[in-house]
Structure 1
């Protein structure tokens, strides 16, 4: 009886909190409209998520896994839509430890030039010289859901705090092989963001076939710009006619304009993550006949923003893009202190309308990332009816299981690029 009496009170508390939050957003809109646009949305119930996942065409292959970090433990929620089963488990790995692991991994892979003594980035041909066995500390998180997701190839994964910065696909399973050997992983910002994007997708469904676009620009400090600026070949080799902007022609305004008409887009450049203001993170592009600097942190804010296509710019846009690949450094980073819908470039792109984004969790290797994307694009072109997530997973597993060079079997190479989705049903190539 006490539980029943308390239920109406809990519902009323929820309504009161929702009303207060709506009032806060109304007052903030005049001062921070971009932030409010990213944060605000209809409050969804679990019943809405359940209904959406059960409606997807690949429902028998799907499981939804959500991680919620606490100070001392992480709660893992697992929902398998075709069995309609929801399970929760508590794993004694807290937020501080997860943050330490994420920072340690980034230190190992990307180096720490500002530390004393400075640490160089990982040598791509000798990745085993640095120990990443500590990733096994994340195996208990996998053990919480793997027995329940057997036979489901696709995992939608949502996590708060530092978890999205950790490569779950590279974490060893209790049996030894990494998670990617058994499951495709697609990151979503959260259940509410997924449903918000799905509703937006339904409202804009019916776009015709649009263009394939590539933008590529090196930094002023890059000794051989052509090594970064030839990525249109990755798309044209798959058989697509490509509209390309390279070098000094790849300006902020020109790239943003083309993204507004692109079904498939590929951008190669340097990226920047602003730890103080994540909405000012973005892609470093050309401006006023000059390539950007790849060290924007040393510039004034005005000079930096002059070359940045920011998350703020993208959040204001309406993109029809079904697939957007960012072969740039720092594109998958986000505010690790945020809860729920995380702030960062990828999240802004998904809110702006992109169905699927491929982005990097650390600084990618030029050669291995190119090989993986060649396999990915050719797979999309040769089998357009295949779900996009499966094509990406096959390309990832090919790099892992049959690497072009021995060192490419290391997670540094095959797990660097990750798939971020909005949960729409438009995962197949148009």
Structure 2
């Protein structure tokens, strides 16, 4: 009889092949050379063992193949993200060079900016520092350090220093409207930054040796009072349109109008649009791409209206949806609450000092730079996330690989040991 009919079919990809001939019980052949069915019909236990070996081997191989596909997917993602990041790096470098040439030509470098804008801002900082045991004072001290403290990574600063105005009366009335506690409020980008400022023990008491409390104690400015912290990530940003081609990205809020479509006399604008913001903070301050105007200052002022005089403000009373202020000291808050009397305002928004002789597209270029840096930061975050997923998949692959090797070593005992032939049957060697 042909020897090919006497061989049992074994998937060489699923089971290891021994260099020595294997003696495998082949019940498919009887003494007369006739084929019996099914395989191992003479010994059901042995038949079940072989099927289990093949089935488990297939499962392990399928699991390894699935993990391998995931590894390939994450590797492709990392390759794409690195290419995008490199492209952004090139664009950022080109814009940085262009801005540098403008600064050199017009004398608007950082040093000149400090000389023109810094004097009024320094006065505000000095007044903040007089509040020795305040969180705002500690933050100003940290900002002044040459080596940034880790807490400063998520810290935007103090409300009073995040905006400027063009008029001293406007600075005074807007600062008075917000109040000292809000003007000295600390602004963070995320909840993680807020949590880092104050740490608690198991009983819920403040740990005075960590966070902003610990820093204050280390520079002889211990915190001894409550302080307000504003998290930009928790604010509901303005959802409307922006004024077209406005380098300051002012909000396109409809002006108050009477039924005859006339604007109230003395109306100067909305407070949220009368704050001048550093171009670096106009775009992409938050992880969702929003700037300070549509987050922080919209949250503080909403649609607060500004009028020239108290008389103008009172005349427009029916149109004051979110309150109003006047340059001569009038304040009406939302809900019809009037604030009377007067008080000295110590902490005020600094005055603006515009940069002169700049090209028309300068602010657009700065905004473009900020946007590209924000996009690059998102790509870096995605890269880190993909790398972590890739490492996890590779770890799982190694575990499955070890399981597979152990399985092969264990299962080989079922096929390498000689199996006793049943009565009337013969054994067939397989090389």
Instruction: Name the TM-score, length of structure 1 as normaliser.
Output: 0.22
Instruction: Name the TM-score, length of structure 2 as normaliser.
Output: 0.22
Structure with bigger RCO (C-alpha 8 Å, 6+ apart): 2
Structure holding more helix per residue: 2
Greater gyration radius: 2
Structure holding more strand per residue: 1
